[in-house]
């Protein structure tokens, strides 16, 4: 069976790495996600990742600190998460490289597009950390930017929910799942799945976005190897 995607970018929120808690790192949750990633990487899918930092600090919501400063703190939080993911992946036998948009040579490479692509061609996973390196940009926008840079076939938005709904399913029992949404509808409906800049970047570069539940074991394989239509797609 021909696979739909051969090179993908997986966007992980910091909250997912916190597991059942809202802060810090849950290593069982991280291992469960990494086991799924290693399984599909072993089948020849080139995987890159962008990770958020919301389990450590959310720059945009930190009102007691100046916004740009808070955003830089959030970027450093994403580096902590990237190193945790790298360690777990490599313990599972998967070669991994962290590239940071803020230079910190002792622990990560600087983001270099051509080097990232070379790593992917050699079967290494690349984790992009520190956002875009500039304040006022979300890690969703970073994910769309990096997906465009490396020529990804798809941006996978990994969440705790099984797709896109017309309203928050945690708050409204009558929320309706939307299996497919156009980029324009996503922008006009102001869906909270990703921000407007991320949707626009993906639209401009014709990168579909798949929103799915990464915590359900086997979902990454079902999506990338088995070709099942799980979650919701923006295209």
Q: Tell which residue, 131, 144, 49, has the closest CA to residue 88.
A: 49
Scan for tokens 């708050």, then name that residue. 171
User: 223-231 — which CB contacts under 8 Å span 24+ positions?
Assistant: 223/156, 224/3, 224/5, 224/8, 224/40, 224/43, 224/45, 225/3, 225/40, 225/43, 225/45, 227/1, 227/3, 227/4, 229/179, 230/162, 230/163, 231/162, 231/163, 231/164
The reply, when asked if residue 71 is annotated as ligand binding, is: yes
148 belongs to an annotated ligand binding site: no
Which token pair is 126?
């690349």
Which phi and psi (to 5°) does residue 232 adopt? -130, 150
Q: Is 136 annotated as a binding residue?
A: yes
115 annotated as a binding-site residue: no
Residue 13 in marked binding region: yes
**Is residue 138 part of an annotated ligand binding site?**
yes
Query: Is 139 assigned to a binding site?
Result: yes
Q: What end-to-end distance do the CA atoms of the chain give, in Å? A: 23
Between strands 180-181 and 232-234, the pairing is parallel
**Residue 133 labelled as part of a binding site:** yes
**140 within 8 A of 198, measured Cβ to Cβ:** yes
134 is in an annotated binding site: yes
Asked if residue 173 belongs to a known ligand binding site, the reply is no
Q: Is 128 annotated as a binding residue?
A: no
CA triplet 40, 220, 88: central angle to 5 degrees? 65
- Does 168 carry a binding-site annotation? yes
Tell me: is residue 63 an annotated ligand-binding position: no
Does 151 show up as a binding residue in the annotation? no
- Contacts of residue 172, defined as CB under 8 A and 6 or more positions apart, other chains included, come to none
Q: For residue 11, say whether it is annotated as part of any ligand binding site.
A: yes
Residue ranges of the annotated binding site are: 11-14, 53-54, 58, 71, 132-139, 159, 165, 168
Residue ranges of the annotated binding site for UMP are: 53, 71, 132-139
Residue ranges of the annotated binding site for ATP are: 11-14, 54, 58, 159, 165, 168
């Amino acid at each position: 069976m021909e696979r739909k995607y051969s090179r993908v970018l997986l966007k992980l929120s910091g909250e997912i790495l916190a597991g059942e808690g809202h802060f810090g790192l849950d290593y069982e949750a991280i291992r469960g996600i990494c086991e799924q990633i290693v399984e599909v990487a072993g089948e020849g899918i080139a995987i890159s990742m962008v990770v958020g930092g919301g389990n450590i600090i959310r720059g945009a919501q930190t009102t007691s600190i100046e916004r740009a400063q808070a955003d830089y703190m959030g970027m450093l939080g994403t580096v902590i998460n990237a190193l945790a993911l790298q360690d777990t992946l490599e313990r599972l036998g998967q070669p991994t490289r962290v590239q940071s948009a803020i230079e910190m040579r002792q622990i990560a490479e600087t983001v270099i597009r051509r080097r990232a692509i070379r790593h992917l061609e050699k079967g290494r996973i690349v984790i992009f950390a520190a956002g875009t390196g500039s304040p006022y940009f979300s890690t969703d926008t970073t994910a769309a930017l990096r997906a465009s840079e490396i020529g990804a076939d798809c941006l996978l938005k990994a969440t705790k929910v099984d797709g896109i709904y017309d309203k928050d399913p945690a708050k409204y029992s009558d929320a309706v799942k939307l299996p497919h949404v156009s980029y324009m509808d996503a922008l006009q409906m102001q869906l909270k799945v990703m921000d407007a800049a991320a949707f626009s970047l993906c639209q401009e570069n014709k990168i579909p976005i798949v929103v799915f539940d990464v915590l359900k074991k086997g979902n990454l394989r079902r999506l990338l190897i088995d070709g099942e239509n799980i979650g919701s797609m923006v295209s």
